[in-house]
Structures are given as structure tokens and as C-alpha cells.
Amino acid sequence: MKKLILSLALVVFATTAFAQKKVVRSANSNFKKGNLEVALEEVNTALTDAETQDDPSTMVLKGQIETKMFTQDEDLASSTVAIGRSAFNSFTKAMEMAGGDVNSKIGKDVWKEEIPGMPENLRPYSMVSLKLASFDKAIRSYEDEDFAMSYEFFNLVSDIDPKDTTANFNAGYLAYTEMGNVEAAKKHFYRLLEIPEYDKLNTYYFLIQIASSEEKDAEAAYKYVTMAKKDFPDDKTLSEFEVQLLLQMDKMEEAMISVQTALKDDPQNAGLLLRYGYLLEQSGNIDGALEQYKKTTQADPEFFEGNYYTGAIYLDRARAILAEVNNLSDEEWEKRASSMSAEADGLYKDAVPYFTKASELRPDNTEIMEILFQIHTRLKNTSEAEKYNQKLIAILGEGWMER
């Protein structure tokens, strides 16, 4: 009796296993015929059965079916991305089941090469096929200016192949500039940093910008600058970043050394000259600061900050002299007031061309207009003073002086 029961059990087991393998064969047949919905339903059934669920080739077949569905889906939508993601997950699971061996039969099936233009019946619908199709959809989405969807497809490509530099840079760029998704952008930029042969300069620029502007983390930004300078020691923009970040961190001595070193290689860099002037001003060397600020306007006459800061030093000096005049004793006032006032007026005159240029560069800046109105009033340049008065009335109204 026991033998009979055992025999019946073996028959049931064999019949069940055979039935499930038949389902897998049917799924494969429908996959090749293009009956993809039916094929996917069948393969999912096989993957829920104890007899076939642990066979990695069944999981490969699921990935192939989903890849074919993804490739044929003309919609550039989230639902399409979901199909592609599912295919990626199926292939990944198959590789895990095969111990990650790319040289095994499963590994070769998952990563089978696809040559563009292959006949339909020869296409492998492998992970490579999935990558190519996703890249194509990313480009098409970008051309349609659907940047969020373009990112999703580039993101899928980069997950399939983390060393794909084009996909990672495009995904990082879109995530940051078009979507404002800093964490997603960093994911892709970090991947690029791991690729030895890749030119990482723009990647570093983005990471520095993210850390300093978005995350307000000067220490992290400085870390990226330090890393970047090891790879690109002659890059002048990195030198500017370094000085700027040292200033943000109040590391004045280090900033001074850095800016002086950078100016040896790039003496006409207006941004570096400005920062050098600022450092000198902070140290109390106003004459040195003025010299550097004036140099910025010689290096770049259209440099707003250089013109503004130069004018500001002349203005501060003039105001300081007039404040001193007001504090003179009667006896000293008689002796010195006239010459000191003339000296102040000379400094006001020196400031005029710099503030005038700054106003031309920032025509809506009312602060500079007010400064020029006050200077020209002081110097009795009536027509010039009235010109700025009318500009301020047009922007701020008749009572602008009473604000």
C-alpha cells in the first residue's frame, strides 16, 4: 500500500512539474509570436509555482518579455518607465539566482549583445536591448522638452550600466537644472567620480555649486574643490572657487595665500583681483584694496563689482573726511576745513566714473542712483543731479527722498 501511495505521489509530482514547464514553454512561444500580455501572465504563473519559481531561466524570460513590451511601447510615460524598471528588476533577480556569474549561460542570456538593425526574430531582448531602448526614449523625451521623463529614462540607463558616462551626466544635469532634485543629481555625479578615465571637471563644478548654493555647506564644497584641483591643478575657475569658499569659512590667511598663488598664474582675473582686494580691505590695508579693485576694472571694464567696490572706497574716504571736518574745533576748522573739504570733493569726483559705470551695468539699482544724486548735488553738478532725481522719481515716486 505504501509503495502504491509513493508511486501515486511521484506521478502527481512529475505531472505538476511537467505542467509548469509546459506553461514556461507556452510563455516563450507567445513571447516569440508577440502575444506579450499572454506571455507575461503565463511566466508570472510559473514564477509563483514552487516547481519553477527558482529557475533563473524563467526569470530571464520574464525580463525578455517585459523588455519587448518596453521597446514596443510608443508612449513616453511613467507607465512605460515602470515596464522598463520591472524588466531591469527581473534581469537583476535572474543574475542573483545565478550567483552573479556573467559568464554562465544565464549571464550570457541576460547580457547578450544587440547589434542595431538586427532582424526582429534575432533580437535578444536582453539587458543590453533594454538599455538601448531606454536611451532612445530618453533622447526622444528630451527633444519633446519633457525633461522629467527624459531624466527617468536616463536614470534607468545609468542603473543598468552605472559606468555609462553620457547617461549619468545627462541624468545628473536634468535632475539638478530642470527638476531641482539635488539628491538625484548627486547620485549620478558621484557615479561619474568613480570612473577613472572620465573627464570630471564639469562634474566637480556641479557638485561644488550644489554644496555651496543649494546645501549651504562651504566645507563640503571646499572638499570638492580640493579633490578637483588634484585632477585639474591648472584650472583657473577652481582657484576662484577655492578663494571664495575660504572667505565663506572665514579662513582669511589661507584665502590670502590661495589668491596670491592663483594671481601669479592668472594676473588679469577680475574675480581673483576682487577677492584679493576684499582680503586686503578686511586686513585694514585700504590703499592695497583700492589698488586691486581698480585693477579689476582695468582687466574687465564691464565688471560691476569692481566698479562698485572702487567707487565705494572713494566714497567712504570722502565721507570720513567730512565727518572729521564736522568734529573740528573752531580754531582747527578755520585752518583746515577748506582744504579738507576740497580733498573730500576730489574723492567724490574720483568715485563718479566708477559709480556711473556700475549704474550703467545695473540700470535698475536705485541705491547707486541715490549715491550719484548725492555726489552730484555735493559737487553742484545740477543737471547731473536732476537726471538721477528724475530716474528715482520714475522708479520710487515723488517722495523718494523722504523714504
- 232 Cβ contact partners less than 8 Å away, ≥ 6 residues apart: 201, 204, 238
pLDDT means per 10 residues, the chain with 403 residues, are 46 46 84 91 88 88 96 94 97 95 94 88 93 97 97 98 97 97 97 95 96 94 94 86 88 90 91 91 91 96 95 95 91 90 95 96 95 95 95 91 80
pTM for the full predicted model: 0.73
Q: Give me the pLDDT at residue 134, please.
A: 97
Spatial distance between the Cα atoms of 370 and 364, rounded to a whole number of angstroms: 12
Q: Is 358 exposed, middle or buried (0-12, 13-18, 19+ CB in 10 A)?
A: buried
Spatial distance between the Cα atoms of 139 and 320, rounded to a whole number of angstroms: 62
Q: Give me the pLDDT at residue 380, please.
A: 95
Q: Which residues of 298-323 are buried (b: 16+ CB within 10 A; e: fewer)?
A: ebbeebbbbbbbbbbbbbebbeebbe
Determine contact, residues 12/38, Cβ cutoff 8 Å.
no
C-alpha distances (whole Å) from 56 to each of 31, 61, 96, 353 are 17, 9, 9, 77
Nearest to 130 by CA among 90, 79, 100, 170: 90
Determine contact, residues 158/150, Cβ cutoff 8 Å.
no
Nearest to 59 by CA among 72, 40, 73: 40
